[in-house]
Amino acid sequence: MPTDHLKVLVVAGARPNFMKVAPILRALEAAGHEGILVHTGQHYDAAMSDTFFRELGIKNPDYHLGVGTASHAVQTARIMEAFEPVLTKVHPQWLVVVGDVNSTMATALVASKLRTETHMHIAHVEAGLRSYDWRMPEEINRVITDRLADLLLTPSEDAAGNLLAEGIPEANICFVGNVMIDTLMTQLPIARATNTVEELGLRRRHYVAATLHRPSNVDDPEALAAVLQGLALVAESTAVVLPLHPRTLKNIERFHLGPMLTPLTVLEPLGYTEMLALTEGAECVLTDSGGIQEETTALGVPCVTLREQTERPITITEGTNHMAPWPLTPRGILSAYADSVAAVAQATPPRPAGWDGHASERIVKALEDKRPVKDYSAS
Ligand code: UD1
């Protein structure tokens, strides 16, 4: 084994993690390092997990923790309990965590407590994003993970300012760009070769794609009804396609809002390639997802974000994203849709720096350059 060989433990747990770990694992392998994959099992449905492994060519996880769904505390605790022995056994030089889900924070926390024994360091991919909304579980996960990480790999140039303002040393921050766009660029030719749009009976640029799963939008019956009503208003003039997240489906049933889906084309959760094809062909995307705000910016497709704020403001200043007026109302959603389409038709914004398909290579370079060589307490 060459002395510059790195042993890197990479964690994935929920749907938005899979498209981030795929290129990182590939880049590690290409550079001759060892990437070991842990799947926490936070997401477990075939449509939320297996499909992505297959489509993105991700190897089978070396360890599967099988934690499943529970309250935040129980899910986090289960991940921590199951992850600790894996980490101790594998004893990597780096733990790489991505994004902002419970699996990200829980595994970083376990590693941070084992640092002095293991001499291992933690890298956070997608560091420095902030919504400044403490009601979001993701914001809590982001802030804690960034505080624990030794290497903060930022996706856009604005993220460093957030970290510096929190007292993170500049030497620990490294701008690598957006690793999700690596996957988008690899998969785009495959998505374009599918007939996803036509098979759904749609015409390119003559439909709106929508996604909805944030607790703030779907866990409260009035909020959920307002968004569905907004989608129905949009559907009066153009088809609206809604692949339904399991959380949203459960709540629509629980709140007896099923009839509000009638004007919409409702689908099961889509795989990566189909969703990319649907997004690329859309006139506009209405979403409360974080990743889709970035994907629409990379594709130049108008996007309306159905949230009070975004932790990805670069998609507004250097992209195609527009915030729907808050609080969300059906009319507000309708007018934001019209405004975003008109704005992007006038001028296609440039793609942010580092969203070029090579972020994973820069991540590996950063791991190599800042390789942990000594006891954490002395570093
Ligand atoms: C999680 C992440 C969120 C991310 C989202 C993407 C946290 C705190 N939240 O939210 O940041 O944007 O993933 O999807 O980590 N369910 C299934 N099958 C599955 C997974 C979930 O049916 O494979 C159901 C669960 O039973 C539960 C609901 O979906 O009722 C929510 O799942 P959970 O993982 O708790 O959170 P998400 O809303 O998916």
pLDDT tens, residue by residue, 30-79: 999 999 999 999 999 999 999 999 999 999 999 999 999 999 999 999 99
Closest CA to 22 of 64, 2, 51, 46: 51
For residue 377, pLDDT over 50 is answered with no
Give the number of other CB atoms < 10 A from CB of residue 170: 10
Pocket mutation for ligand 1, best pick of 107, 139, 213, 249 (most atoms within 8 Å of C-beta): 213
DSSP H or E segment with residue 79: helix 72-90
Query: Phi then psi for 115, rounded to 5 degrees?
Result: -60, -50
Pocket mutation for ligand 1, best pick of 69, 145, 249, 268 (most atoms within 8 Å of C-beta): 69
Q: Who lines ligand 1 at CB under 6 A?
A: 14-16, 42-45, 48, 69, 100-102, 137-138, 213, 245-247, 250
Q: Are 246 and 215 in contact (CB under 8 A)?
A: no
Give the number of other CB atoms < 10 A from CB of residue 262: 9
For residue 280, pLDDT over 70 is answered with yes
The CA distance from 48 to 58, in Å, is 14
Which residue in 43, 124, 213, 322 is the catalytic one?
213
Pocket mutation for ligand 1, best pick of 18, 19, 42 (most atoms within 8 Å of C-beta): 42
- Span from the CA of 52 to the centroid of ligand 1 (angstroms): 15
In the residue annotation, 91 being an active-site residue is answered as: no
- Span from the CA of 126 to the centroid of ligand 1 (angstroms): 19
Query: For position 348, what pLDDT does the model report?
Result: 77
Closest Cα to atom 25 of ligand 1? 69
Query: For position 375, what pLDDT does the model report?
Result: 45
Query: For position 300, what pLDDT does the model report?
Result: 95
Query: For position 372, what pLDDT does the model report?
Result: 65
User: Where residue 3 falls among pLDDT bands split at 50, 70, 90?
Assistant: low
User: Where residue 295 falls among pLDDT bands split at 50, 70, 90?
Assistant: very high
What's the predicted TM-score (pTM) here? 0.96
